[in-house]
Amino acid sequence: MTADAERRTAAIMYAELRNFTRLSEVLPPEKVLELANDFFSFCAMAVTANKGKVLSVQNDALLGAFGTGAAKDFAERSVKAARDLQREFGALGEQWKTQYGLPAAVSCAVHLGEAVFGHAGPIGARQFVAFGDCVSIAERLVHRARAGEIILSADVVKALGPAAQSLGAKPLPPLELVKRPSIPLYGILLETRLDFTEPINFGSRPD
């Protein structure tokens, strides 16, 4: 992707840190920021290692885009980034559970569509951003993902072609949109849902 304003097809990946609100309520502010930065660094490494671009950080979520090459190519790279992130973050999430008494995990979503890319923002603080329906839908999809899972739109699965079969993705209820066709969804799911209902272990909280 170039720095100039352009409209193009891309794969948009959202990664959201689950259970971080509870962690932020019991940890010192400096530790909250340290853990958040660890998470964002994991996300950024997964995105850039797969030739994507980090677009923004929103609260406890990160947005990345993949838009170079053919649709099949950047669809594959976006899904690989999501899977890499899930795999690599697992150990860190367990470490946080041991240290702070609370688990953490990542939820991911990938959608493919057309978006506008370019620099926007106030003078002196402009950033490379993406706008469009594709971005909005990807954000909605990440809220469908349970902790540790990845949600894919049908457009991503279609772009992957036969390679999608190796993901083991399962059909899910579609995303219903007002006055528009629904969007079929697929999930790379966990056999057992992660349990985030454990009590807070205040005894392990750092001073």
3-class SS letters over 37-97: HHHHHHHHHHHHHCCCEEEEEECCEEEEEECCCCHHHHHHHHHHHHHHHHHHHHHHHHHHH
- Can you list the domains of the chain with their CATH numbers? 6-195 (3.30.70.1230)
Determine the Cα–Cα distance for residues 199 and 116; give it in Å rounded to an integer.
Answer: 44
Position 108 scores a pLDDT of: 97
pLDDT beyond 60 at 207: no
What is the percent of the chain with per-residue pLDDT over 70, rounded to a whole number? 90
Token pair of 12 as six digits = 């948009």
Q: Where are the beta strands (DSSP E) in 102-169?
A: 105-120, 127-131, 150-153
Which residues, in sequence order, are bridge partners of residue 118? 129
Determine the Cα–Cα distance for residues 158 and 135; give it in Å rounded to an integer.
Answer: 18
pLDDT tens-place string over residues 55-109: 999 889 999 999 888 889 999 999 999 999 999 888 888 888 898 888 889 999 9
Q: With left for phi above 0 and alpha for psi between -120 and 50, is residue 102 left, alpha or beta?
A: beta
pLDDT tens-place string over residues 115-124: 999 999 899 8
Residue carrying structure tokens 């490379």: 128
Determine the Cα–Cα distance for residues 65 and 44; give it in Å rounded to an integer.
Answer: 11
